[in-house]
C-alpha cells in the first residue's frame, strides 16, 4: 500500500528547498499575494432603457456608437441575452443572480423597489474576496437603510435616488424639471452633494476617478466598478451639441420593412428617437474616455469589461425587427446585447447564441474572480464561463420566466416562459387554459408573429405547466411575502427621508396629493422630529395625522405652509405601516416626502 506519510528523505529535501526559497527572497506569503493580485478588475456597465437596436453594431443606421461598436468587435457577444421587462427587477437579478421576486423586488415603485438587506450582491461577494467596490449612477433597489448601495457592499457610491433623475422619488432633482440632468444634487455615500455638468459625464468621471485611485504594485487592490448610467431614460435631456447632430434625421429612413418597429412610429416617437440617439452618442463618448484611462493605467488586459442594458426601449423605434418594447415580455422588451471583454483570458472575439440572462452575471464573476458564491440560498443563474471557453453545456434548455405587471405579478398577465427556441407568452385571464396562450419559435420567427399554440398543443401545455410551477414558487418567496423594511431612527441613517418611490398604498401612487400612501418601517425606540413636505402649501385649520403601527398622533395646524413639523413623537421598537396625511375640509392629502429624525440616540 502507498504510504501517505513523508519519509525522512522527503523532509530533508523539503527543508533544502525551503532554505533555497527563503535565500532567494521568495516567501510563500509573497507568492500567495502575487497570485491574489492576478484577480481581474471588473467594470460592469449598464445603461437605462437602451434597446437592442440602439447601437451601430446591431444594425442601426442612424446612431453613432463607434466605441461600443469597437467593443463588440473585441468581445464575447451574447446575441441571445435576456433581462426583465423593467429596470428594478433587472437590477435585482443582476446584483444577486436570482429572480427578482426572491429578493423582494416586485415593482419599480409602489414600495416594491426595495431589495431585502439579506440578499448577497455582486459587490458584497467581490468585497469579501478583497475588491474595492464602487457604484456610479442608478441603484433603484432602495433609498434608505438598510438597502442602500453602501449597505449592500459598495465602498463608494455616487447615485441619484429612485428610478430616475427628475422623478418624484429623487427629491433633489425633481424640482429641476427640464434641467434635472444638469448640475444635479446627487447622493455621495449617503450625503447630498452638488455636482456640475451633465449626469452621464459626471457618473463616468466619478468612475474614472475610482479606477485611477489605486496604490500600484503588489499591494494594488482589484476593483469592481458598477457604472449604472440613467441615460437614455426619460426625461430625454441631452447637451445641445449632441442633439444638433440628430435633430433633422428621419429615424425610419434606411430601414427595410422587416426591420421597422413593430408599431408605426408617431411624430412623437421620432422626436424621442432623435433625443435618445443623441444621449447614446454621449454615452459612447464617455465610455471612450473610461476605456482610454484603462489603457493609460495599463489595466486593460486584466480588466473584465461587461456592457449590457436593463430592458427594451421605452418608445417605438428601430429594434432589429423584434416585437414589443419596455414593460412587455415580447423579445423587444427583454432581449438586449451583452458584451464581455477580458483580453488576458479571452483574446479572441466570439458570438455566442446560447441564451444568457442577467442572473448569470453574478455566478460568472464568481468563477472569473475566484470569489465564492453564497451557499445558503438558491442562485438561479448559471456561470457563462463554459460558453466563454467553447465548452458544450447541459442546461437542458433551462426555462426562463418573465413577467411584468404593476404592484404584484398578475397571473397570466404579461408573462412569458422561454425554453430553448420556444417562447410561451401569456396575456390572458387568471384561469386561462393552454389555448389562450401564444407560442412562438424564435429560431425562425424572432418577430413573434406566427402563433403556433394551436399547431403545438402538447408543447404549449407543457410550457404552461412549467410557467405555473415557477410562478407558484416565486410568489411564495419569503422576501415577497414579508416586505423589506425601511429602518427609521437607526444610527446608520438619521434622519431618514421617505420618498414617493418607496411609498405603498394606492396602486400607481406617484405625485398625486389626495391619495392614500404609506411606508413600511422598522422604528427604533426614541423621541422623533418628523417633518412633512407637501407639493403645495396645505390650508390652515386642518389636522396633521400620523399612524405608526398601533400609535396615532394628531396635531392641529394653524398656518398655511408646504411644511408641517411634529416634535417629540414617541416611537417604540416595532415594525408597522407609517401612514401620514393632512385632513382638511373632507380631503386627505399625502405628503410628498417625509423626513424622520430620532433625537435621542441614547434611548
Q: Is pLDDT above 50 for 43?
A: yes
| Whole-number Å distance between alpha carbons of 595 and 514 | 20
Pull the grid cell for residue 346.
Answer: 479571452
Model confidence pLDDT, tens digit, residues 423-449? 999 999 999 999 999 999 999 999 999
Q: What is the pLDDT of residues 519-576, one digit of tens each?
A: 999 999 999 999 999 999 999 999 999 999 999 999 999 999 999 999 999 999 999 9
Task: Identify the pLDDT of residue 218.
Answer: 47
Domain(s) labelled CATH 3.30.1120.10 in the chain stretch across 400-481
- Per-residue pLDDT tens digits for 453-496: 999 999 999 999 999 999 999 999 999 999 999 999 999 999 99
- Is residue 27 very low, low, confident or very high in pLDDT (cuts 50, 70, 90)? very low
Sign of CA dihedral 68, 69, 74, 76: positive
d(CA 392, CA 389): 9
Please tell me the predicted confidence (pLDDT) of residue 281: 98
Cell of 420: 430553448
Q: Closest by alpha carbon to 580, among 492, 499, 480, 483?
A: 499
Q: What SS3 class is residue 395?
A: coil
**Percent of the chain having pLDDT more than 90?**
88
Identify which has the larger pLDDT, 246 or 25. 246
For residue 215, is pLDDT > 70?
A: no
Q: Specify the higher pLDDT residue, 29 or 229.
A: 229
List, for residues 328-372, the tens digit of each pLDDT value: 999 999 999 999 999 999 999 999 999 999 999 999 999 999 999
pLDDT of residue 517: 97
Integer Cα distance of 519 and 449 in angstroms: 43
CATH superfamily of 486-598: Galactose-binding domain-like (2.60.120.260)
Residues of the chain with CATH 3.40.720.10: 37-388
What does pLDDT average to over the chain?
A: 92
Grid cell 449598464 is found at 46
More confident residue, 9 or 192: 192
pLDDT recorded at residue 93: 98
265, three cell numbers: 412610429
Which three-class secondary structure state does DSSP give residue 387? helix
State the cell numbers at 355: 441564451
User: Which helix H or strand E contains 31, and what residues bound it?
Assistant: helix 28-36
Cβ–Cβ under 8 Å, residues 343 and 301: yes
CATH architecture of the domain covering 400-481: 2-Layer Sandwich (3.30)
Residue 264 has a pLDDT of 87
* Average pLDDT of the residues in 148-173: 97
Strands 496-498 and 593-598: antiparallel
Asked whether the predicted pLDDT for residue 16 surpasses 70, the reply is: no
pLDDT of residue 600: 76
Q: pLDDT band for position 601 (50/70/90)?
A: low
What are the Cα distances from residue 225, in Å, to 206, 210, 284, 381? 10, 8, 17, 21
Output the pLDDT for position 21: 37
Q: How confident is the model at residue 236 (pLDDT cuts 50, 70, 90)?
A: very high
What pLDDT, on the 0 to 100 scale, is given for residue 34?
A: 35
Cβ–Cβ < 8 Å for 116, 148: no
Predicted local confidence at residue 15, as pLDDT: 42
| Residue 419 contacts residue 400 (beta carbons within 8 Å) | yes
The Cα 515–Cα 513 span in angstroms is 6
* CATH tag, 37-388: 3.40.720.10
For the chain, give every residue range classified as CATH 2.60.120.260: 486-598
pLDDT average, residue stretch 247-270:
90
Is the model's pLDDT at 603 over the cut of 70? Answer: no
Percent of the chain exceeding pLDDT 70 equals 92
Q: Are 210 and 253 within 8 A, CB to CB?
A: no
Whether pTM exceeds 0.85 = yes
Phi, psi of 548 (to 5 degrees): -130, 105
Helical H segments across 476-537, by residue range? 478-481
The rounded distance, in Å, linking the Cα atoms of 162 and 473 is 28
pLDDT at position 7: 34
Amino acid at each position: 500500500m502507498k504510504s501517505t506519510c513523508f519519509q525522512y528523505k522527503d523532509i530533508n529535501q523539503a527543508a533544502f528547498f525551503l532554505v533555497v526559497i527563503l535565500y532567494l527572497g521568495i516567501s510563500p506569503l509573497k507568492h500567495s499575494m502575487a497570485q491574489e493580485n492576478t484577480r481581474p478588475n471588473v467594470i460592469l456597465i449598464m445603461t437605462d432603457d437602451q434597446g437592442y437596436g440602439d447601437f451601430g453594431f446591431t444594425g442601426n443606421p442612424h446612431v453613432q456608437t463607434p466605441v461600443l461598436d469597437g467593443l463588440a468587435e473585441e468581445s464575447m457577444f451574447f446575441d441571445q441575452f435576456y433581462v426583465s421587462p423593467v429596470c428594478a427587477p433587472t437590477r435585482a437579478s443582476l446584483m444577486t443572480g436570482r429572480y427578482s421576486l426572491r429578493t423582494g423586488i416586485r415593482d419599480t415603485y409602489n414600495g416594491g423597489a426595495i431589495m431585502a438587506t439579506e440578499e448577497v450582491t455582486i459587490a458584497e461577494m467581490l468585497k469579501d474576496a478583497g475588491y474595492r467596490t464602487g457604484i456610479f449612477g442608478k441603484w433603484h433597489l432602495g433609498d434608505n437603510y438598510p438597502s442602500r448601495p453602501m449597505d449592500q457592499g459598495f465602498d463608494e457610491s455616487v447615485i441619484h435616488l429612485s428610478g430616475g433623475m427628475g422623478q418624484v422619488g429623487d427629491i433633489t432633482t425633481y424640482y429641476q424639471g427640464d434641467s434635472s440632468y444638469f448640475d444635479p444634487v446627487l447622493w455621495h455615500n449617503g450625503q447630498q452633494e452638488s455636482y456640475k455638468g451633465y449626469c452621464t459625464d459626471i457618473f463616468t468621471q466619478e468612475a474614472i476617478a475610482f479606477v485611477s485611485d489605486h496604490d500600484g504594485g503588489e499591494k494594488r487592490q482589484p476593483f469592481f466598478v458598477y457604472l449604472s448610467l440613467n441615460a437614455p431614460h426619460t426625461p430625454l435631456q441631452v447637451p445641445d451639441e449632441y442633439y444638433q447632430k440628430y435633430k433633422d434625421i428621419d429615424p425610419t429612413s434606411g430601414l427595410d420593412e422587416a426591420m421597422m418597429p413593430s408599431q408605426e412610429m408617431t411624430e412623437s416617437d421620432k422626436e424621442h428617437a432623435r433625443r435618445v440617439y443623441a444621449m447614446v452618442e454621449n454615452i459612447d463618448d464617455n465610455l471612450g474616455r473610461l476605456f482610454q484611462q484603462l489603457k493609460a493605467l495599463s489595466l486593460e488586459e486584466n480588466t473584465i469589461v461587461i456592457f449590457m442594458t436593463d430592458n427594451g426601449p421605452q418608445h417605438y423605434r428601430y429594434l432589429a425587427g423584434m416585437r414589443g418594447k419596455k414593460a412587455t415580455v415580447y423579445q423587444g422588451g427583454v432581449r438586449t446585447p451583452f458584451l464581455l471583454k477580458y483580453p488576458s483570458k479571452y483574446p479572441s472575439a466570439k458570438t455566442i447564441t446560447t441564451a444568457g440572462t442577467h442572473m448569470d452575471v453574478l455566478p460568472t464573476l464568481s468563477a472569473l474572480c475566484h470569489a465564492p458564491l453564497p451557499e445558503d440560498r438558491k442562485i438561479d443563474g448559471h456561470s457563462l464561463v463554459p460558453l466563454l471557453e467553447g465548452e458544450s453545456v447541459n442546461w437542458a434548455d433551462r426555462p426562463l420566466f418573465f413577467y411584468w405587471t404593476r404592484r404584484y405579478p398578475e397571473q397570466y398577465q404579461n408573462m412569458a416562459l422561454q425554453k430553448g427556441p420556444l417562447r410561451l407568452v401569456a396575456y390572458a385571464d387568471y384561469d386561462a387554459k393552454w389555448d389562450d396562450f401564444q407560442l412562438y419559435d424564435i429560431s425562425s420567427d424572432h418577430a413573434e408573429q406566427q402563433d403556433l399554440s394551436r399547431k403545438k398543443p402538447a408543447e404549449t401545455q407543457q410550457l404552461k405547466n412549467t410557467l405555473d410551477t415557477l410562478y407558484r414558487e416565486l410568489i411564495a418567496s419569503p422576501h415577497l411575502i414579508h416586505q423589506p423594511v425601511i429602518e427609521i431612527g437607526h444610527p446608520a441613517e438619521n434622519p431618514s427621508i421617505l420618498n414617493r418611490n418607496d411609498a405603498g398604498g394606492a396602486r400607481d401612487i406617484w405625485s398625486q396629493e389626495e391619495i392614500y400612501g404609506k411606508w413600511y418601517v422598522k422604528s427604533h425606540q426614541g423621541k422623533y422630529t418628523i417633518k412633512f413636505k407637501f407639493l403645495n402649501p396645505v390650508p390652515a385649520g386642518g389636522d396633521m395625522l400620523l399612524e405608526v403601527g398601533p400609535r396615532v398622533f394628531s396635531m392641529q395646524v394653524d398656518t398655511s405652509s408646504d411644511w408641517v413639523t411634529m416634535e417629540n413623537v414617541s416611537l417604540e421598537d416595532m415594525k408597522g405601516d407609517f401612514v401620514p396625511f393632512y385632513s382638511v375640509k373632507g380631503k386627505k392629502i399625502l405628503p410628498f416626502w417625509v423626513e424622520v429624525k430620532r433625537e435621542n440616540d441614547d434611548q
